[in-house]
Amino acid sequence: MNLLKKENKKIEKVSFNYWINKAWHKKNKARLVFIHGLGEPPIVWKKVVSQFPEVPVCVIERPEYNNVLNVNSKAVLILVDKFLGNILKAEELSQTYLIGHSLGSYFALCSNLNIKGRILIAPFYHLYINNLSFINDDVNSQINKGFGVECSDLIKKEFTSLIRMVPESVKKQEYNIYDHLTLSGKKILKKNTLIIRPLGDLIVSKRQIKQLLSIVPSEKSIIYVPHTGHNIIYESPEVISSIISDYIN
């Protein structure tokens, strides 16, 4: 990502890659931390974050993306929280919005940190990765399902070239938002939350969104975006940037 500087930090012997922009060290500013989805790399955020040159931005790589971790999803979540607590001071955390796409939204929603708020893009309620098919033809079919009907073939091709197979250690994971909230308490739901739901999303069902909304307090917000699919951050980055900008200002 040309607009961002790559950094690396180890937390409990686990290597974290992350990218920050030139505004990252500015003080007294709202901060945006982006977390990517399952098979997609952090670079999928490039077109979104380029719209925030004056806002402190950090894109993190999920620790299990490049590391073989023999731990469950809750332990990975704790690792991410420790990493963010390491690179951000308490006063900076209180001005930080966690922004996650798909699997990244799980980390954004379930974080126990004292953050300003979170934005969940195409979030799910429950994901058992062993139920997904990783045969090449099926993967390509799933990728195509992730886009709206009006999306160009060029965008689909670009995105497909970025996707990689999921490590075996990750395939064993199960991510259940309700189970995690039950274990960690409801206090994290008090944080400001925005859900962005692409109406053409064929990956996350309407039933999952209904389940998710049943545990997110009614005063929280949801925005429905027509003509877009699950991979909205790559398909319509200008729409996502606009929504984020409106929400934090």
**Alpha-carbon distances of 59 from 3, 31, 80, 91, 98, rounded to whole Å:** 11, 11, 12, 19, 10
Please list the alpha-helical segments (H only) found in 12-89. 46-49, 63-66, 73-87
For tokens 């070239």, name the residue. Answer: 161
Q: Strand, helix or coil at 10?
A: strand
Q: pLDDT tens digit string along 214-224?
A: 777 655 688 99
pLDDT per residue, tens digit, the chain (249 aa), is: 666 899 999 988 888 999 999 999 988 789 999 999 888 889 999 999 999 999 999 999 988 777 666 666 777 888 899 999 999 999 999 999 999 999 899 889 888 888 999 999 999 887 766 545 444 545 566 677 889 988 999 998 898 888 776 655 555 666 766 666 654 555 556 668 899 999 999 888 888 888 888 777 655 688 999 999 999 999 999 999 999 999 998
Contact at 8 Å (CB) between 145 and 229?
yes
Strands 31-35 and 5-11: unpaired
Question: If we measure between CA atoms, which residue out of 212, 154, 170 comes closest to residue 76?
Answer: 170
Question: If 0-12 CB within 10 Å is exposed, 13-18 middle and 19+ buried, where does residue 135 land?
Answer: exposed
Question: How far, in Å, CA of 11 to CA of 60, rounded?
Answer: 13
Torsion of CA 184, 188, 190, 194, to 10 degrees: -130
Task: Report yes or no: 80 and 107 within 8 Å, Cβ to Cβ.
Answer: yes
Going by C-alpha positions, the residue among 126, 159, 157, 151 that lies closest to residue 228 is 151
In sequence order, the 6+-apart residues with CB closer than 8 A to the CB of 160 are 140, 143
User: pLDDT tens for residues 123-155?
Assistant: 988 776 654 544 454 556 667 788 998 899 999
Q: At a CB cut-off of 8 Å and minimum separation 6, what does 93 contact?
A: 84, 85, 113, 114, 115
Comparing C-alpha atoms, which of 95, 4, 100 is closest to residue 47?
4
Instruction: Write the pLDDT tens digit of every residue in 24-46.
Output: 998 878 999 999 988 888 999 99
Q: Do the Cβ atoms of 223 and 246 come closer than 8 Å?
A: no
Task: Provide the whole-model pTM.
Answer: 0.89
Residue type, 175: Y
